[in-house]
Structure 1
Amino acid sequence: MKKQWIGFMIAGMLVAAVPTNVNAEDCYHNWSYSADYTKLDDTYHQAEYYCYYCNAKKTEKEKHTWLYEEILEDQYDANYHTVQYECMDCGAVKTEKQAHSWEDEDYDEYYTYYYENKKYHTYEQKCEECNAKRELRAPHRYFSFYDKIAKYATFNKKGILVYSCIDCDGTKKVYKKWKSGTDYSRNYDIKHGTVFNRQTSITVKLKRPSKGTVLQATIGTKKYKKKIKNNKKTVKLNIKPAEYGEKVKLALYYKGKKIGKDSCDYNDEVWYSNRVTEGMTQKQVRYTWGAPSSTSSSSYGFTYWNWDDGSMVSFRNGVVDYWFDAAN
């Protein structure tokens, strides 16, 4: 490092010792870069250089070195705006037309959309560099997650979905036929209570009762039908006593087409005729063991049923609290 520093010092002393009044003919010119520039035309300027040692002078013709200056915002039309450049050496100025840089469509959330008609909307784009604007036309963009149910479909009437354009206030109506399991269709599912042995009717609850529909119950291999004639939500269907283990299925039909299903499939086995369980109602016990031979009651809401074979059931507030089956 020390030797290198000494070399720099000697080189500096030698340069300083070179006389500045060297004869131009004998001088090995070192042209200065601090030249003077004069504009010649729109393409070239003249550069004047001086020798560092002898003050000799030379001129050279050079092309302008254009530097971006600014957009002339008051000079634009539908397709172009005017850009002004300045030469960084001589100060010459030139202008040229440049195509607009319209905003990228990926950033269309910055646009303002205007409803035009059922098919199209218009929106305004701006040039990113000047004040130019243009109006574009585009078809509406409808997506299902922007829909609204204006009218639910029923089994004999179409429903109406209103779709909104995600860009403007445009909407369109779509008419949909009734289809089971869709969000725009009325639900006609039905459910029933547990069916016990010896029971001669089923109580069915209709979610949306409709005149003209047919309720069909299938218990084992037997089928029962009843036409709905009013708007009552609870319907009784007469049946023959079921046997233990038979399945109970219910469905709702309109003109032979299934429009509703049983929503109690998980609990559709007929109760065993001799089985009483805690929580049963008095009606359910009567269906299971038959009518008692005698009954009595006491304070605190207790009721007692007795049968000739020694079986008994104790009810508290109307449901089974305790029972004894003499046959088992």
Structure 2
Amino acid sequence: MLSALRRTTQLLNHLTTASKAYATTATMTDPSKYKFNHSMLRVKDPKASVKFYEHLGMSVVNKLEFPDNKFDLYFLAYDSPKAASHGSHWTDREGIIELTHNYGTENDDNYKPHNGNKEPQGFGHVCVSVDNIQAACKRISDAGYRFQKRLEDGRMRSIAFALDPDDYWVEIIAQNPVDQTEDVKETDLGTYRMNHTMVRIKDKDVSLKFYQEVMGMRLLRTSENTSANFNLYFLGYGPPAGEKSANGVNPTADREGLLELTWNYGTEKKEGKVYHDGNSEPQGFGHICVSVDNLEAACKRFEEKGVEWKKRLTDGRMKNVAFVLDPDSYWIEVIQNESLGKAPGKY
């Protein structure tokens, strides 16, 4: 009898200790330290794509090769002395573009990544903010690159959309008042920022709650366009948006690593899935990625929040990366910020 009681007591003590340890580990992560690290795009020819983004002033800050799996990853970011994350480890940055190249696509006449703006829609664009937008757009045009929308097209004369070699849209916005840079002939690539990534969402309330309460982002800016039946929501990590606007319109134009959610009125009333996640056919955009302070603790926190997983840390061979699904089934990669801690294995 005494022996059985002792074993029961030991078991209860063990369960209590394990429960406390789990709770402690789950709270060992601080969402305010998270970073919107990168956005992934599949590309046909990495030489052409890297050349384009380097023309926009970006640099390859990391390259990962997986010859056994027949793909390579190129991570490009702004890294000049004036850049927001100059010299930082690639996992300790925001505003990276990851280009994924599957071997052989450059020689496949039938391969073309899906840009997300043709049907089926989902991903919309990445966006670069520049100092003098007229000079910046002229420099892109002079290099022979194409535009979806030039500055002079349409009613919106303060934004342009360049096309990369795979027809992904790259929005160009101004950091300075457009009416004050018309006669400026030079542009300083060192001041550019990879400002945001845009995806379309079905239900604004559901998505805003997810990105704020689960992913820990802050709603920085809302742009309501009632006459055109859509709203834009800009979220990110870091401080709130300032009251003053550098370009006279957009208080986040000089920021890096933002997420733009585009909500078209009425989509929340549609049945089933509305937007394409980019990973089912036709493929193009792959995922966004958040780097965290403590990968295991962050994933336990996400578990407590009831997220839907594409891949848990414990799934498969790669134990150092997880994928969460957002309300529209866009993939969100979760990795360790290696400047804040050691990843459980080499990524």
With the length of structure 2 as denominator, give the TM-score of the two structures. Answer: 0.19
Q: Which has the higher contact order (CA 8 A, sep 6+)?
A: 2
- Rg bigger for which structure? 1
Q: TM-score under structure 1 normalisation?
A: 0.20
Structure number with the higher strand fraction is 1
- Higher normalized helix content (fraction of residues): 2
